[in-house]
Amino acid sequence: MAILQIAADRPGSGKSSLAGALLLHLTSAGKRTAYYKPLSPLGGDDPDVSFFSQSLLADSSLPPAPPSNTLPREGDSLEGALSSQIETQASQLKSQSDAVLLEGPDLANADGSVSSLALDLANATDSKVLAVIWYSKGLAAEFVARACQPLGERLAGVLINGVTPYRSQQAKAVLGAELAAKGIPLLGVVPEDRTMLGVSVQQIADYLNGRWVQEPENVDARVERFLIGGNIMDSGPSYFGRYSNQAVITRGARPDIQMASLTCDPCCLVLTGGDEPAEYVKSEASQKGVPLILVDTNTIDTADSLGGLLDLATSRSLQKIQRFQHLLEEHADMDALASLALS
């Protein structure tokens, strides 16, 4: 029985994805696995805890996820009654489980200064720490070592996430050797993945402050690509049918483009310029279950603004957790990761 904390160098690096994927892997192997996120900026209303409870811990044989505590103010350490409370909760979970996965805090504060909370949490719960590092161009072993330095001997290894495909082999070979020379095990190099970066139709509508043209359907559908429907030279199917799980952005006053795109079953149409679509477009969309989102901005501005939405993508989807488990099985040392969680 062991406690493994998953920390990260920055928000959005993949802590929840890794915790969820490991939980699925361990439970499928018959290991009773607990999840605990001791600290959260949102306190007891953390959406990750709600997602794990409802989607990953629904099996009554698994220990329920305890509520989170409010994250201490930036610069504060974990101490006193809060530290004791977390230690007690983690000990209880450990006594009920083969493995406890702690989703820990980030290794740096919002201003870039070093945070001691991950180490404080590791000391309070006697846990090893697995650090998730988000890949960026030119990522060097020195940066990884510096980010993980506060963890000291509590560091059990690192996982590099979000690597661009053509950099994966280089990152694995070069970073792996350089980190090994620094005594830091590299346990995986996970490539970026469109499924993990996907957002729901509802998230698109909310982000754009869009209006539903008619009663929305399939608002939880996952969108992995955005395609602009403009003055295209190709036929509709050859242009719009190239990818699955896409949203099409086009002017509300272009029924020809809208009908062409609907032949290829997009997740939704984002209609720009504030123009209501033609009735026959509404009818076709309704028959196919394709939601129509109306916005007042023009097509280019709408497409540009959606770039910020991808930064808000979360892993709170069973499909995404299953996909990340698959990515780990292909690109990480799952035996080593499981061993860290179990011993």
Q: Is residue 235 pLDDT above 70, yes or no? A: no
pLDDT at 304 over 70: yes
pLDDT range class, residue 231, cuts 50, 70, 90 = low
Q: In degrees, to the nearest 5, what angle opens at C-alpha 216 toward C-alphas 213 and 220?
A: 135
- Tell whether the model's pLDDT for residue 65 goes beyond 60: yes
Reported as a pLDDT band with limits 50, 70 and 90, residue 236 is low
Query: At a CB cut-off of 8 Å and minimum separation 6, what does 30 contact?
Result: none
**Does the pLDDT at position 234 exceed 70?**
no
User: Which position has the higher pLDDT, 166 or 298?
Assistant: 298
Domains of the chain: 2-196+314-342 (3.40.50.300), 199-310 (3.40.1390.20)
Transcribe 164-212 into DSSP letters. -GGGHHHIIIIIHHHHHHTT--EEEEEEP-HHHH-EEHHHHHHHHT-EE
Kindly indicate the confidence band of residue 237, based on its pLDDT and cuts at 50, 70 and 90.
confident
pLDDT at residue 163 greater than cutoff 90? yes
Residue that is written with structure tokens 């994805």 in the block = 17
- What pTM does this model have? 0.88
Mean pLDDT of 297-321: 91
pLDDT band at residue 206, thresholds of 50, 70 and 90?
A: very high
Mean pLDDT across 111-136: 95
Which segment of 90-104, 156-170, 285-299 scores lowest on mean pLDDT?
156-170
- Name the average pLDDT for the chain: 93
